[in-house]
Structure 1
Amino acid sequence: MALTLSACSQDKGGTVDGIELVNAEALTVCTHLPYKPFQFTDSSGEVVGFDVDLVKLLGDDLGVETNVISTDWNQITSGAVLAAGKCDLAMGGATITPKRQEAVLFSAPYFNATQALLVKKDSGYEGLEDLDGKRVGVQTDTTGAIYADKHAEEHGYTTVVFDDLSLETTAVSAGKIDAAINDNGPLYQYASDNPDTEIAAEFDTGENYGFLAKKDDENAKKMIDRLNKLIAESKEDGTYDEIFKKWFGQVPGNVNE
């Protein structure tokens, strides 16, 4: 099944194999691009990534295409795009938090994450304690931003907020900020693609990623239950490991079973 980036679908919804979809011909999934390697647009214009391959298990199981809509991250974590019926599910390396659970229904955890500190190579910064008087980038409405703000006064740095990951990371490379805090997966990917940067430290925050669906909705629960089942089966038959290795270069060692 093809994976495409689309505008908000105006197609008529319908029921497919017992599940109501906003577009009867596709599983419509909201995200905020880019968030490499979880979801991003490749050189051919196709939306690809770790999250994409996992959510596509549900689209394939339903026998429909999977269409991806890029939207503001706070519209996803607040549940607004789901409540408005713009998408069936949402994704984006979304950490499951009590606050977010008040607004959305989460899937079972599918990935464990920590926060990481991205710096210019040979900067001499090895942790937050080295950033007194410095500027530290964060992405709006992320757990990384919460972590950075929590420790800003203690370590004497100032946080600088960016709308998306790419703006935050390129600001490190460009020297506009001294460091950046975000999830370890995409920051390790960025450092691999940009050898002028490196990961100076990781902060174990005990985070788990989940897919998101509409809160207090029977149909949404059907989708999440089915996705949970498919991901569990993929872990048993080896598909999950194959997908993980495809995007991270190794078999998972830190993922919830």
Structure 2
Amino acid sequence: MKKKCISGLVMLLCVMLVSTSVLFAAGSKESGASNEVDKIKSRGVLNVGVKVDVPGFGYKDISTGANVGFETDLARQIAKVILGDASKVSFTPVTAKTRGPLLDTGELDIVIATFTVTEERKLSYEFSTIYYTDAVSLLVKKSGGYKSLKDLDGKTIGVAQSATTKAVLETEAKNQGITLKFSEYASYPELKVALDSGRIDSFSVDRAILMGYVEDSSEILPDKYSPQEYGAAMKKGNLALLSVVNSTIADLDASGELLAMKAKWGLDK
């Protein structure tokens, strides 16, 4: 009888120790995540990566030197929630290739830069709820006479480095039984110059981004491929900041302010 009692006490003690360890680990994880928001408050500034070459989303105003666009406005709204002041934001220019590494090193708290959410990327970063949905399209010179992707069979498509565009078009080309060549560039202005100089036959990225590069001599083809859903990205495990970002987007959406912000930059079409 005494043996059974001792065995029972030992088992109970083990269960209690395991439960305590689990609770401690969960608490530590939550505390660590919360510290990220506390660090921002202590620092007094929110570090955000944004595009500076995408009219409508993130652009550097040459006349004032200010960062402007829908995504920069969203960043300011998040700063207002965390720090009580929408001006407490430090913007860092990013490209499709640099935005991830700058999050990894901790130089940035958030990246809000036409960052398409994919299942693969979710393995590396925390993504907010979707704040904008677009689709991959094609910008061409009118003089080329192209009317659809099929007309670009055997031609060279310019895409941004590390973007999802190339994979999307490769899949679509296979579906249509055509062959495409690709040339990758670091920035959208470089892609536009390549198109104008004839080094590429089409500049391809999300439709709303292309709208900022249309001129009288060029046009966006009607083709639209693969929905591109944009979310704000944070370091993996930064759940407290993710919660703040999601609640900010939800509140802006519920109040109608999110739609008004898109309309302000011509992104409500």
TM-score of the superposed pair, with normalisation by structure 1: 0.82
Quick check: 111-120 or 17-26, which moved more?
Answer: 17-26
Instruction: Tell me the distance in 1 between the aligned counterparts of 2:228 and 2:205.
Output: 12
SS of 2:249's equivalent in the other structure is: helix
Q: 8 Å contact 1:173–1:197 — kept in the other structure?
A: no
Please give the residue correspondences for 1:44-83 in structure 2 after superposition, counting only pairs within 5 Å: 44-61=64-81, 62-64=83-85, 65-77=88-100, 80-83=101-104
Cα separation, partners in 2 of 1:234 and 1:114, compared to 1, 3 Å: same
Instruction: Tell me the distance in 1 between the aligned counterparts of 2:141 and 2:42.
Output: 44
Match of 2:233 among 212, 222, 244: 212
1:176: Cα distance to partner? 2.1
1:45: Cα distance to partner? 0.9
Match of 2:179 among 156, 161, 180: 156
Gaps of 5+ in 2: 1-33
Matched residue, 2:245? 227
Q: What is the letter of the counterpart of residue 45 of structure 1?
A: G
More strand by share: 1
Instruction: Tell me the distance in 2 between the aligned counterparts of 1:31 and 1:81.
Output: 11
Matched residue, 2:260? 242
Q: What is the letter of the counterpart of residue 55 of structure 2?
A: K
Residue-by-residue CA offset, 1:156-175 (whole Å, 9 max, x unaligned): 22111111111112322232
Instruction: Tell me the distance in 2 between the aligned counterparts of 1:121 and 1:22.
Output: 51
Match of 2:190 among 167, 176, 190: 167
Matched residue, 1:21? 40
Q: 8 Å contact 2:51–2:57 — kept in the other structure?
A: no
Residue-by-residue CA offset, 1:185-211 (whole Å, 9 max, x unaligned): 1102211xx221110133231221100
Instruction: Tell me the distance in 2 between the aligned counterparts of 1:244 and 1:169.
Output: 24
Identity among equivalent positions (%) equals 25
Q: Does 1:36 align with 2:55?
A: yes
Q: Which runs of 4+ in 1 moved over 6 A?
A: none
1:19: Cα distance to partner? 3.2
1:177: Cα distance to partner? 1.3
Gaps of 5+ in 1: 1-14
Instruction: Tell me the distance in 2 between the aligned counterparts of 1:68 and 1:59.
Output: 12
Matched residue, 2:146? 125
1:85: Cα distance to partner? 1.4
Instruction: Tell me the distance in 1 between the aligned counterparts of 2:211 and 2:96.
Output: 21
Q: 8 Å contact 2:37–2:241 — kept in the other structure?
A: no
1:68: Cα distance to partner? 0.8
Residue-by-residue CA offset, 1:125-181 (whole Å, 9 max, x unaligned): 111210123211111111112212334563222111111111112322232211121
Instruction: Tell me the distance in 1 between the aligned counterparts of 2:48 and 2:259.
Output: 23
SS of 1:96's equivalent in the other structure is: coil
Matched residue, 1:182? 205
Length, aligned pairs only: 230
Instruction: Tell me the distance in 1 between the aligned counterparts of 2:156 and 2:36.
Output: 51
Cα separation, partners in 2 of 1:245 and 1:97, compared to 1, 3 Å: same
Q: 8 Å contact 1:28–1:87 — kept in the other structure?
A: yes
Residue-by-residue CA offset, 1:47-80 (whole Å, 9 max, x unaligned): 1111111121111122241111124533323xx3
